[in-house]
Amino acid sequence: MSKLTGKTAIITGAARGIGAAAARLFAAEGAILMLADVLEEDLQALAEKIGDQAAICPTDVTDEAAVKNLVEQAQAKFGKVDIALLNAGIEGALAHPTEYDTAIFDKVIAVNVRGVFLGLKYVMKAMEASGGSIVVTASTAGIRGVPGMSAYIASKHAAVGLMRSAAMDGAPNNIRVNTVNPSPIDTPMMESLENMHGVSDRNDRPLARATPLGRYGEPEEVARMMLFLASEDSSFCTGGVYMVDGGVSGGRR
């Protein structure tokens, strides 16, 4: 039997990158999906490729009413919510704190922190009766510092903190909460970060060379960790920080 047969899952930030890879993998493992993102056209295209197992609910995760509606739509359509991947996130800008635009800082915190908080708020309520698994996408930035990315670093540290608190709050109801912490992954976000670092040649990837394994991760590699945490394979795992980072958290070459 597939690992997620009979399970229902909400995935935010599902239109591209890690979220889209997780959607495809979870569908292959038998899950029924409610896909959410602000990129409605990409979201619809992904759902059409997956087929009848996927529904969409375009959602701005910073909007409380929208997040509440997302969870309610999933409950109404599926009757329950077993799994949630709180994956939506943005990278912000590359700047020294003295030069960092406050409006961009606020937007990063809104998506990466408020979005996780609102997801936890409404998904945990939906899971109270039967339990479930919540996976928050954090980053290696959630356990260390990187110059010039104060908003992103702060937001991912906060995501880990929210997870740890929610894991304790959810345990009595058998709600498991964990983070997945990727290093640079070959996604549109990484291309944006390369552009911020002045990398115009896609064959010259200094952030990949700085990874001990010498390459970027693939979205599917992160999705496989998410699958482990979403499935019963991780039934005794909660409050954990799971690295998918090519060795970045252990040191550099």
Q: What is the pLDDT of residues 49-63, one digit of tens each?
A: 999 999 999 999 999
Helix (H, G, I), strand (E, B) or coil at 232: helix
In the prediction, which pLDDT does 233 show? Answer: 98
152 is catalytic: yes
Report d(CA 81, CA 157) in Å as an integer: 26
Specify the pLDDT at position 209.
77
**Sign of the alpha-carbon dihedral angle for 166, 168, 171, 177:** positive
Residue type, position 207, single letter: L
Q: What is the Cα–Cα distance from 16 to 30, expressed in whole angstroms?
A: 20
Q: Domain residue spans in the chain?
A: 8-188+220-242
Predicted local distance difference test score (pLDDT) of residue 169: 98
Entry pTM: 0.93
Q: Is 95 in a helix, a strand, or coil?
A: strand
pLDDT at 119: 98
Residue stretches of the chain with pLDDT short of 50: 253
User: For position 253, what pLDDT does the model report?
Assistant: 44
What superfamily does domain 8-188+220-242 belong to in CATH? NAD(P)-binding Rossmann-like Domain (3.40.50.720)
Closest CA to 246 of 181, 157, 156, 150: 181
Catalytic residue among 100, 152, 216, 242: 152
Residue 109's φ and ψ, nearest 5 degrees, are -65, -40
Q: What is the pLDDT of residues 75-116, one digit of tens each?
A: 999 999 999 999 999 999 999 999 999 999 999 999 999 999
Helix (H, G, I), strand (E, B) or coil at 11: strand
